[in-house]
């Protein structure tokens, strides 16, 4: 059995659709990592423990008391163990909330980080708070807006280490539903991209977000009547949706210092959309932020500040 000699702790990002696990030494350097599509949505409560320990068995963690820290949807009510939401405002540089998973075998030591909640307007995040924590572990004095594009895009107001308020937009999920399951699916079936059409759709939709449901159908009609190409229509669909989101999120980004925390592709699209509104956002890498956030939370929990 291979045991990683320098293994100090294990960081886990366990989301709805994916599982990512990092083996880290005591300087948080990565010794090994695992990535799979064993997302929380495909698992029932009893499956988390055996699945995790099967995946990391090569590191020999059943034999030594290695601390494991998880973030993400694994802490949802339908996940492994529910990790309650903490309320905003919440100081990510000083506070940390987590729950311990209980095992009959006390050599195991697994904690799950809680998400954040906002009561008015009601909103929640689970996983993104760890990414923001990671960003703040590098840029502790950041004051402004963090946009986290994704299935449920978050716009987060951060000041002096605190999450002050946030709003979630279902834009990514809407794009997926419309492009995969709606009458538009044949009209937007393409891997191509047209930046000019995207930007013009963003701008139309920011100015007239109320037209979005008829703009959607217009894509279908443009395809039927004018044979407009699918890569153009896909770019416009994305533009209409992100434009309507930007219209709704305007109180967040207008005149603000904006950071986009996400994966390359989607971040670039949001950056393009914001630039057309005169906002020059900084991009930071989501995976790096996740790992840094887990490391920062681990330090706070273990008292190694």
Binding site for its own copies (CB under 8 A): 77, 85, 117-119, 121-124, 151-152, 167-171, 173-174, 177-178, 181-183, 208-214, 216-218, 220-222, 224-226, 241, 244-245, 247-250
How many helices (H) does the chain have, and how many strands (E)? 8, 15
The residue among 61, 55, 72 whose CA lies nearest residue 15 is: 72
**What residues pair up with 112 in beta bridges, in sequence order?**
70, 99
- For residues 99 and 124, which CB has a smaller minimum distance to its own copies in the complex? 124
Q: Shortest approach of its own copies to residue 41 CB, angstroms?
A: 10
Q: Shortest approach of its own copies to residue 77 CB, angstroms?
A: 8
Q: At what angle do helices 264-275 and 195-207 cross, to 10 degrees?
A: 60
C-alpha distances out from residue 78 to 86, 125, 151, 203, 252, Å? 18, 15, 19, 39, 31
Q: Shortest approach of its own copies to residue 141 CB, angstroms?
A: 28
Q: Shortest approach of its own copies to residue 119 CB, angstroms?
A: 7
- For residues 131 and 292, which CB has a smaller minimum distance to its own copies in the complex? 131
Q: Shortest approach of its own copies to residue 101 CB, angstroms?
A: 21
**36, burial (CB in 10 Å: exposed 0-12, middle 13-18, buried 19+):** exposed
- For residues 11 and 184, which CB has a smaller minimum distance to its own copies in the complex? 184
Is residue 59 classed as helix, strand or coil in its secondary structure? helix
- For residues 151 and 272, which CB has a smaller minimum distance to its own copies in the complex? 151
- For residues 103 and 213, which CB has a smaller minimum distance to its own copies in the complex? 213
Q: Which residues have C-beta within 8 Å of that of residue 294, sequence separation ≥ 6?
A: 11, 12, 13, 22, 69, 71, 113, 130, 134
């Amino acid at each position: 059995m291979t045991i990683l000699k320098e293994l100090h702790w294990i960081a886990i990002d366990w989301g709805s659709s994916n599982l990512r696990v990092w083996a880290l030494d005591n300087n948080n350097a990565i010794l090994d990592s695992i990535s799979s599509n064993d997302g929380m949505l495909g698992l029932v409560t009893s499956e988390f423990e055996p699945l995790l320990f099967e995946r990391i068995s090569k590191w020999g963690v059943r034999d030594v008391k290695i601390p494991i820290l998880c973030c993400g949807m694994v802490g949802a009510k339908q996940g492994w163990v529910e990790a309650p939401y903490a309320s905003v405002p919440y100081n990510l540089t000083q506070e940390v909330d987590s729950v311990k998973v209980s095992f009959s075998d006390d050599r195991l030591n697994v904690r799950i980080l809680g998400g954040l909640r906002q009561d008015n307007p009601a909103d929640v995040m689970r996983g993104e708070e760890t990414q923001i924590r990671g960003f703040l572990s590098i840029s502790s004095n950041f004051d402004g807006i963090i946009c986290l594009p994704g299935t449920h895009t978050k716009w987060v107001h951060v000041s002096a280490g605190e999450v002050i308020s946030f709003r979630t937009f279902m834009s990514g999920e809407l794009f997926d539903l419309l492009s995969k399951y709606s009458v538009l699916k044949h009209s937007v079936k393409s891997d191509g991209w047209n930046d000019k059409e995207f930007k013009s759709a963003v701008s139309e939709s920011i100015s007239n977000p109320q037209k979005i449901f008829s703009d959607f159908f217009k894509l279908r009609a443009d395809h039927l009547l004018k044979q407009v190409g699918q890569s153009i229509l896909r770019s416009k669909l994305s533009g209409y949706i992100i434009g309507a989101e930007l219209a709704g999120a305007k109180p967040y980004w207008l005149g603000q210092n904006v950071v986009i925390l996400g994966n390359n592709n989607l971040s670039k699209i949001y950056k393009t959309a914001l630039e057309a509104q005169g906002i020059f956002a900084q991009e930071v890498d989501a995976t790096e932020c996740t790992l840094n956030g887990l490391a920062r939370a681990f330090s706070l929990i273990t008292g190694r500040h």
